[in-house]
Structure 1
Amino acid sequence: MTRAPEQPLDPLGWCVALALGFWLLVLWNLAIPSAPYFDEVHYVPAARELLILEQFNNREHPLFGKEMIALGIAILGDNSWGWRILPSIAGMLALFASMRAVWFATLSRFATLTSGVFLATGFHLFVHARIAMLDIFMIAALATAFWQLAGAMREPETGRWRLALAGVALGLALASKWNAVPVAMVPGLAFLALRWKAGRRRLVLSRRGSPVPGITLAEAFIWLGLVPLAVYWITFSPGYSFEVNGIENGILAHHRLMLDLQTQVLTRHPYESTWPEWMLNLRAIWYLYEEVDRAQRGVMLVGNPLTMLLGLPAIVWCALRGIMHREAAHGAIALLYGVSLGLWLFAQKSTQFYYHYFLPSGFLLIALALSLDDLWKARWRKLAIAVPVASVLLFVFFYPILAAEPLQRSDSFAVWTWIESWR
């Protein structure tokens, strides 16, 4: 007789606790600054227009993120709480969904919770959960999609409804920002590749084989191809009702306008940067640094100095594990990092900023968690624990200029600007 295989215990309760704790921290002084700051000056007025449908502004971006900001205004009023409450909830969802995706992909409690700690303390998620911008809704939707996709692969009996939810989430990600396009294409292409590799004679109609037994390739095309496009199109519905600059010549003409606006050549901006600088964490953006609400305050977007750099060898490690040892989760996270970053190697966008690294940085941090999980399994447990602990300590140190806390002097920024390009 042999022992039954050990069944790992789902850390669902810990995932809920970590996500709720993160949200409560985000909510602390969420209304400060009380006036719109950084790109809120574009998206808050666009959300207001969605509530009255007079003039269609900010037409270069899809509508879903602005619709969510408008919903917050409708619920809590046209104030800083109303602008930011839905982004804060999206941040909590992004964290929870990411942990659930890692759990279903790995069945590792350590990798799941460590990825949550890294995302919560990696600076990007926290800063964007506290500001009315579009990126957080894209991240939340993509995280939800990958949660459901990983769940469908782990529990094929739930595959149909999980793929349907994933399709809706992919559509909402596309409807938040176009940055999601290359990543949103990966699930459908991966389904095709895996089913092709399974060698089924009836490729399109066979229900057997990975990644989700019981689901045909034809049905997967509906959930991961047609449903996202339909959801994306539905989110443009308010655009037809604007009195000025509405979608009058059809959705295709509107998208040509969007593309023209996205690719127009802009004047140089002091905060613009390039993807190598993002990878090396060399260029910060000050979303805010001025005297507001009776105190000197600042909000700096930069990556956690420890995990952003440790994540680079972790990505290489995951890629090697995926190629040489057929570790699916490792290979997938390296692929997603490469796809999400690769967009910016070829994007016809004249001006790029560090916040465009938000999505790739999330995959980077999960790759670091998977790499440390390998150390944990190899009994290097003190080292595996030391990194997330150090990440938390750095987050605590940087917290005042991540959360617009009162600063002592006008030159207090020097405490956190460790290199010249962070100033």
Structure 2
Amino acid sequence: MSQPPHHPADPICWHIVITALFAVLACVRLTIPSGPMFDEVHYMPAARNLLALSDAVNLEHPPLGKELIALGMLLFGDEPLGWRIMPLLFGILALFGAVRAMWFLSLSRAASLLTGLFLVTGFPLLLQARIAMLDVFMLSFVMLGLWQCAGAYREPETARWRLALGGAALGLAMAAKWNAIPIAMLPGLAFFIARAWQGRAHFLTSNRGWPIGGMTLAEAALWLAVVPLLAYAATYWPFPFYATVPGNPTGLIALHRQMLDLQTQVLPPHPYQSQWWQWASNTRAIWYLYEVTDGAQRGVLMMGNPLSSLAALPALLWCGWAWWKQGRRDCAALLVLYLVSMALWVLAPKPVQFYYHYVLPHCFAMAALALGVEKLWQNGERLTPAAIVLGSTGVFVWFYPILTAAPLAGEQAFLDYAWLVGWR
């Protein structure tokens, strides 16, 4: 008799452990600097005005991220802990969502744990979890949405409530930042393509077949199209209550036209602006902070881990090969997610872009690296996987002071970390 298929045990306890480790690392010196750094100067005033319902500002971005920052300020005060507590919590949630999504996508314990390791040591997630900006909220809801969509695929008996939660999370991701829009469209589009590809005569009404048996295309559209839009629209609740909304837009459509105009306006050049190829090659960084503050010279450097960021590029190429030659759906999903999230910045008419726009593609790149390292190990390779894992961890340990605003030796201490001209 044939053996039953192997079903690896869910490593949720290890996922909790690695998430807790990340929480500890992200909490260190969370309230330093004691003043705003980098783009906090844009979002903190928007949150203050929201609490006062005075003037709506920072209209170029949707409101959810600013509402969450305002919630932190309401609970913990208008001070560093209040500004950064919600980014911290959602950064922690983003990591947990990412490893859970990777588990359901790949059913590989090793790949899900390696994804967590590379995200913890990869720099961008840690940095965005420690600053009052919008990207970490978008990232967190994207990962929660993908987790639930992947779970619905693996466990069809839970598909309805998972897709309802996943759709709501993807709608909230768009409400945090528009970067999430291309990713939020993918689950519904994938469902449609999968059903159409199977060629059933009545695929529009059939509830049979991949990716989720027992669910029609119409029901999937409810969870993956209608629910996200409703969740997105609900986050605009403060606008009727603001004392002043610049431009006096009459309704959501007019407001969105104004937001789009602000997004595509021509801005003056910024010393830290960069292009998408510089993000992938990790050759252009941002100094969120470098000054004497809180009694010492301190810095916060936004970039990717010099080892894992570059190692992820051949891993992404391998994912494409494994998809083509071996039909691996996990590799296909990660490559598509990476390319779609990058394509936004290749095609978007936004003239000034920054490395932090790479946070979402970077997460998919780290997951691809996890699959690549696992495959090397399965093939009997030992040196290369060990070098990537231990090397990335060692680089993270070296850079940790400059990621968390630790006291530095002096004004020229940045040279210990700014190895390339583009990192200065």
Give 1:316-327 correspondences, 5 Å limit: 316-327=317-328
What SS does the aligned partner of 2:225 have? helix
Shift of 1:6: 2.5
**Residue aligning to 2:172:** 172
Unpaired runs of at least 5, structure 1: none
1:26 correspondence with 2:21: no
1:128 correspondence with 2:125: no
**Residue aligning to 1:306:** 307
**Residue aligning to 1:286:** 287
What SS does the aligned partner of 2:131 have? coil
1:221 correspondence with 2:221: yes
Q: TM-score, with normalisation over the residues of structure 1?
A: 0.98
**Residue aligning to 1:139:** 139
Shift of 1:380: 1.9
Shift of 1:408: 1.1
- Give the distance between the partners of 2:383 and 2:216, measured in 1 at CA: 45
- Give the distance between the partners of 2:415 and 2:257, measured in 1 at CA: 44
**Residue aligning to 2:380:** 379
- Give the distance between the partners of 2:342 and 2:249, measured in 1 at CA: 35
- Give the distance between the partners of 1:420 and 1:50, measured in 2 at CA: 40
- Give the distance between the partners of 2:93 and 2:205, measured in 1 at CA: 35
- Give the distance between the partners of 1:2 and 1:220, measured in 2 at CA: 36
- Give the distance between the partners of 2:376 and 2:240, measured in 1 at CA: 54
* Runs of 4 or more above 3 Å deviation: none
- Give the distance between the partners of 1:286 and 1:396, measured in 2 at CA: 19
**Residue aligning to 1:182:** 182
Q: What code does the residue aligned with 2:133 have?
A: M
- Give the distance between the partners of 1:164 and 1:369, measured in 2 at CA: 29
Q: What code does the residue aligned with 1:250 have?
A: G
Give 1:216-255 correspondences, 5 Å limit: 216-245=216-245, 248-255=249-256
**Residue aligning to 1:210:** 210
Q: What code does the residue aligned with 1:323 have?
A: W
**Equivalent residue pairs, number:** 423
What SS does the aligned partner of 1:305 have? coil
Give 1:20-419 correspondences, 5 Å limit: 20-245=20-245, 248-419=249-420
- Give the distance between the partners of 2:60 and 2:3, measured in 1 at CA: 60
Deviates more, 1:377-386 or 1:13-22: 377-386
Q: What code does the residue aligned with 2:51 have?
A: L
- Give the distance between the partners of 1:2 and 1:321, measured in 2 at CA: 28
Task: Provide, for residues 147-191 of structure 1, a one-character-per-residue CA deviation record: whole Å limited to 9, x for no partner.
Answer: 001100000000000000110001011001111111111111101
**Residue aligning to 1:6:** 6
Could you tell me whether the CA contact under 8 Å between 1:168 and 1:231 is conserved in 2? yes
What SS does the aligned partner of 1:290 have? strand
Q: TM-score, with normalisation over the residues of structure 2?
A: 0.98
- Give the distance between the partners of 1:21 and 1:125, measured in 2 at CA: 13
Shift of 1:248: 4.4
Shift of 1:382: 4.4
Q: What code does the residue aligned with 1:68 have?
A: L
- Give the distance between the partners of 1:370 and 1:102, measured in 2 at CA: 10
Unpaired runs of at least 5, structure 2: none
Shift of 1:137: 0.3
- Give the distance between the partners of 1:203 and 1:240, measured in 2 at CA: 43
Q: What code does the residue aligned with 1:26 have?
A: A
